[in-house]
Chains A and B, each alone.
Chain A
Amino acid sequence: MSNLTREETEALIAEVLEVYPEKAKKDREKHLAVNDQSVEQSKKCITSNRKSLPGVMTIRGCAYAGSKGVVWGPIKDMIHISHGPVGCGQYSRAGRRNYYVGTTGINTFGTMNFTSDFQEKDIVFGGDKKLAKLIEEIEGLFPLNKGISVQSECPIGLIGDDIEAVSKKAAAAFNKPVVPVRCEGFRGVSQSLGHHIANDAIRDWVFERDGKDAQAFEPSPYDVTIIGDYNIGGDAWSSRILLEEMGLRVIAQWSGDGTLAEMENTPKAKLNLLHCYRSMNYISRHMEEKYGIPWIEYNFFGPTKINESLRRIAAFFDDSIKAKCEEVIAKYQPMVDAVVAKYKPRLTGKRVMLYVGGLRPRHVIGSYEDLGMEVVGTGYEFGHNDDYDRTIKEMGNSTLLYDDVTGFEFEEFVKKVKPDLVGSGIKEKYIFQKMGIPFRQMHSWDYSGPYHGYDGFAIFARDMDMTLNNPCWHKLTPPWLKPAEEAEPMAKAA
């Protein structure tokens, strides 16, 4: 199917909205838009970061998911207690594939689940005593932990436990940071507020902590940090090597494969490199104001954007870095050319629809375009207007934008637009595969990765080819339903 015109896309949105009751329709139509690159301000065409409607299937998470799952969880040498009933921690355990180096259970704790396992009596009598005991037990069992964070689940806020007091007491007793995070799931409309709360907790409890500067730190003029890279499938590592080859020194990774010491050192950096704007712009802004560290957004998906980003980063430093930056770009060029030569003919002209969170709905567009593919629809689970401001320029005219799309809308859009590939989360994966549409799970790279950097681009291209050109997509119609002439050669062959 050829690309839709603006009128056709508008008609499509109207058609999909038709089934809703009047009130729901009015609300949802604000979240669906046809992209128009001439619009400067996204709020003129799309509403975002609003409460999801009851009764429609949303794909969003909660504040706890944003804080424990995204921001705090990957910090490997701290123990993150899921404070509350057991389920929240257990069902989100180790699902995000934040890779890290270390011995789990000895000096790193990334894939483990620590929970206070609230029972009825804890709800009735309060769980503060239990939390204090739990922290004491952790200290006994895992003495190499560098700190503890207490990630509140819903009941903590509801019953009004004073986790701050418990944390302060424990921090003084063990001389380690114990960070209470008020990220109860009911706060906010999506995980986005959880990111904000987690950022604020880092600001208040990590940066402001007494005695954090105990370890020696020798600054260099080329200190940078990677902020908002969660090392999914090794993303941060494939980004880091590029920066290091350029002659920069990466002093911290936030928070994939990150440590508490790295976080504490971040205010000493010369430049903060921000990959996931949505989840960590808060702390970057804070560091800019308080410590005078500039920050820039960068994009390490696909060679075009990588080259652009590397040059932008190099522009902050002296000529030796700029020269090395060109060397790095030249070094990887043959590899990139080989990847494009191999996969572009197989993928060119294919159309993609995305629906993810954070930075990907706009960042991966460049990757697809480098392979000759086109993104015809994109949307954020929990983006804000500033995300859409940045997206409008990346997307083609009269493509679809959908904010917090519901299960129904997304299915209908896919049925009508008929993309060749859908990239979204695990909850959508099997729906679309059963509809016969190739699908990539773009939250954790479908158990592949890394996708960042030049090395990641090679893997990205292979994965897209593997999915799109998989022979299984021709086998969806059983032989007895195929028209006779098609079934004929098969019978002969048998």
Chain B
Amino acid sequence: MRLLGVVTRPGTSRQNKTGSWRVMRPVFDHDKCTGCTTCETICPEGCVYHTGKTEYDSDLDYCKGCGLCAEMCPADAITMKEEIK
């Protein structure tokens, strides 16, 4: 009796990089950014992070490219670019 695909242990999202579904990729302009944090708050996947006050980026391992961050950014500091692989 073989069990396959029945039980999933925690931590499998580390192996399953769901960012591969993405067709558009957010590109952050750190000069235009005001550091308002809207993109980080709005991201449905929790992918947007920052390394400095205006240094925002998205974790492309998991970012689906939904474009909400770009849509909501009040400073137009995020543009969606076609993902070319």
Partners in one complex: no
Q: Which residues on A are within 8 Å of B, measured CB to CB?
A: none
Q: Which residues on B are within 8 Å of A, measured CB to CB?
A: none
